[in-house]
Chains A and B, each alone.
Chain A
């Protein structure tokens, strides 16, 4: 079993792009606006239910996009933090 030296080059990490999260948020907002558009044009509650579902789907898309972005950011930060901690323990 080989263990990587703390002074070895750290595997390349990239900072997650906020642009991708912004695109997901835009999709979520578009779904909410579409749901509102559909619900405001319907006169009965039964006809509004599909639009309400679309709006809820928009909220879920936004939540998933936010969670994935933040978790990816944290996952990129952890190896760098562990490498620096290992160096600190070695010295």
Chain B
């Protein structure tokens, strides 16, 4: 049961194992066929089907296995990209909160009795005059 689950999830690696097994078997069959006859004209078909065909299957197996590895790497990069995007959006939220805090601190430093300025939108910070002693009219 676990093997079936593994084959379903890792179908490319399962196919690679199957192709590799088939390739090795074909090469063995080709070798047996070639060694069983002294006539070159009878050996050539075994060389083609067993030798070259087995090599093609081995190439397919190697490609499938390496492709599975590269797919794993691609998915890992997808996960890293998603994490980086999450960090960037968190940083934007922190920057907005810091700006809002700075505005509130400026509001709190205003002297008592002065009319409260209109609420400042959080999108930007207005430059304010630093609070100091007020000039008295003589």
Contact = CB atoms under 8 A, between A and B. Distances in A.
B56 interface: yes
Given A21-B63, A36-B45, A80 B53 contact: no
A55 B67 contact: no
Given A48-B41, A62-B59, A77-B73, A56 B52 contact: yes
Contacts of A55: 48, 52-53
Interface stretch (B1-9, B77-85, B94-102, B120-128): B77-85
* B: interface residue count bin: 20 to 34
Say whether chain B's binding surface is mostly helix, strand, loop, or mixed: helix
Given A39-B48, A84-B80, A32 B56 contact: yes
Nearest to A40: B45
B41 A32 contact: no
Contacts of B49: 32, 36
Residues of A in contact with B, size category: 35 or more
A70 B52 contact: no
Given A28-B56, A66-B63, A43 B45 contact: no
Interface of B: 12, 40-41, 44-45, 47-49, 52-53, 55-56, 59-60, 62-63, 66-67, 70-71, 73-74, 77, 80-81, 84, 88
Given A62-B60, A69-B67, 7 more contacts: A29-B56, A33-B53, A35-B52, A40-B45, A45-B40, A48-B41, A63-B59
